[in-house]
């Protein structure tokens, strides 16, 4: 897509000038891996110059020259840190996995969010990391080993056909997307037809992930792109076709814009994070709950004995 076309398209979502200026000047973030070192211990031993993010204690903004390669530091080699954009870190906080739960990451490689979820779970419970290709699984294993993740299993299944039913308390689906929020040249090779095509896969993956949730379980759907066809439209398709699926409020206090109300007022519960909000990449985040059958029956006058009159 030509630059002017992309400018006109993105301007329908947010302030183009602010978004692109922030995109090309975005800061570098990393996350401290508290599985291996507490934040206090890390501050004592690390010589990396960084400032703590005001939005999450374990997230830091790198304060080093552009030439500094965090992947060549001893802190990285020993698994004390993991480079990760701030919105990507926040996705796991939205899902909020707890110690002892059964949790699934549908498209886990290379393992940034997956390893953060293990950390939030304090390396307990069961964390399943799935992906569809062998080379991606290899990258996931590398992250698991470096960061000392112990509560995990790795599977290789098609995310659009997991064939699991009611197994997991929480599920993350960070779906394959057109990456307009993170790919520097993505807008040049993209046109709206790409979003329409990939949304077919995203819809299948979301249905498959939802099926794998237990009743009352929670799912986070996220992408690093802006197109409504890959975001609100995918979630709307699930809500329209599955009884009991509903959007939940996201309670993180971070700068963001709401999801597009064109799809319904409930989509204000979704977060659209553009580069100007967190000086990082762009993201879409939606949190979905699988309705509790008992609660649904309680609402049915025929089963509760409630007389609605007439």
Please, is 118 exposed, middle or buried when counting C-beta atoms within 10 Å of its C-beta (0-12, 13-18, 19+)?
buried
Task: Determine whether 152 is an active site residue.
Answer: no
Per-residue tokens: 142: 């590398």
Cα–Cα separations (whole angstroms), residue 298 to 72, 203, 310: 57, 30, 20
Tell me which of 152, 177, 224, 270 is the catalytic residue. 224
CA–CA separation, 210 vs 245, rounded Å?
9
**Residues involved in catalysis:** 224
């Amino acid at each position: 897509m030509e630059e002017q076309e992309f400018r006109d398209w993105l301007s329908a979502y947010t302030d183009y000038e602010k978004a692109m200026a922030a995109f090309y000047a975005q800061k570098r973030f990393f996350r401290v891996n508290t599985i291996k070192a507490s934040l206090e211990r890390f501050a004592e031993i690390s010589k990396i110059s960084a400032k703590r993010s005001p939005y999450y204690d374990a997230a830091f903004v790198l304060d080093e020259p552009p030439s500094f390669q965090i992947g060549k530091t001893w802190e990285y080699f020993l698994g004390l840190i993991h480079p990760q954009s701030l919105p990507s870190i926040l996705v796991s906080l939205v899902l909020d996995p707890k110690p002892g739960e059964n949790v699934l990451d549908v498209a886990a490689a290379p393992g940034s969010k997956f390893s953060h979820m293990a950390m939030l779970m304090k390396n307990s419970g069961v964390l399943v990391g799935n992906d569809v290709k062998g080379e991606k699984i290899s990258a996931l294993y590398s992250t698991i080993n470096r960061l000392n993740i112990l509560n995990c299993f790795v599977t290789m299944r098609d995310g659009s056909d997991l064939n699991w039913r009611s197994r997991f308390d929480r599920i993350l689906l960070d779906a394959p997307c057109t990456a307009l929020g993170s790919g520097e040249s993505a807008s040049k090779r993209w046109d709206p037809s790409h979003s329409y095509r990939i949304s077919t896969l995203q819809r299948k993956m979301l249905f498959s992930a939802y099926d794998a949730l237990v009743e009352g379980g929670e799912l986070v759907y996220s992408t690093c792109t802006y197109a409504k066809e890959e975001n609100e439209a995918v979630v709307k398709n699930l809500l329209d076709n599955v009884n009991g699926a509903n959007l939940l409020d996201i309670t993180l206090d971070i700068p963001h814009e709401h999801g597009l109300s064109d799809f319904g007022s409930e989509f204000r519960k979704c977060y659209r994070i553009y580069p100007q909000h967190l000086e990082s990449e762009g993201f879409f985040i939606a949190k979905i709950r699988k309705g509790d059958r008992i609660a649904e029956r309680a609402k049915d006058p025929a089963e509760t004995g409630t007389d609605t009159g007439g």
